[in-house]
Copies of this chain bind each other. A is one copy, B any other.
Amino acid sequence: MHPMKRKESMTVDKIKQVLVASGAKPTAQRVAICKYVLCDGDHPTAEVVKVWADQNFPMVSRATVYNTLNLLVAKGLLKEVKLPHTNKVMYDCNIDHHYHFYNSATDALVDIDPKEVVMKSNVTEKYDISKIEITFHGKQRKK
């Protein structure tokens, strides 16, 4: 079993392209936030994004952090992940269908490739299923 691989970093120009392509103005704040959440961040919360922004950008307000994250989600460039162990939303740059493993020992979230999971159910006979979420909770197995 191997976790899904992370996104590669993007140049500022590439990020601008992506924003423009999705119909959003590539403002300085948006580009900065994108650099983090679309490439470097590992399931950050809005709070984590704000801390990163405060350390790496002259000025980004909390409202802009939330506005930008919501914009990216609306444009399909980012996914919201809500898990029961916390009530903070986490943002996932992996927009392909996948599941999650939450490591309670380290508080880390790992993407699980759907290929690693076989799920069959007759629930689909009675219902129109639009989404299936699977989250594994546990700890890294000791070697």
Residues in chain A within 8 A of chain B (CB atoms): 1, 80-84, 87, 101, 103-104, 112, 116-123, 125-141
Chain B contacts for A104, CB-based, 8 A: 130
Chain B contacts for A125, CB-based, 8 A: 1, 141
- Per the bound structure, the CA–CA distance linking A118 and B84 in Å amounts to 23
Q: A112-B121, A117-B121 are in contact. List 6 more A-B contacts (CB 8 A).
A: A1-B125, A82-B83, A116-B122, A117-B120, A131-B137, A132-B137
- Per the bound structure, the CA–CA distance linking A82 and B86 in Å amounts to 10
- Per the bound structure, the CA–CA distance linking A116 and B122 in Å amounts to 6
Chain B contacts for A134, CB-based, 8 A: 119, 132-134
Could you tell me if B121 and A103 are in contact, using CB atoms closer than 8 angstroms?
no
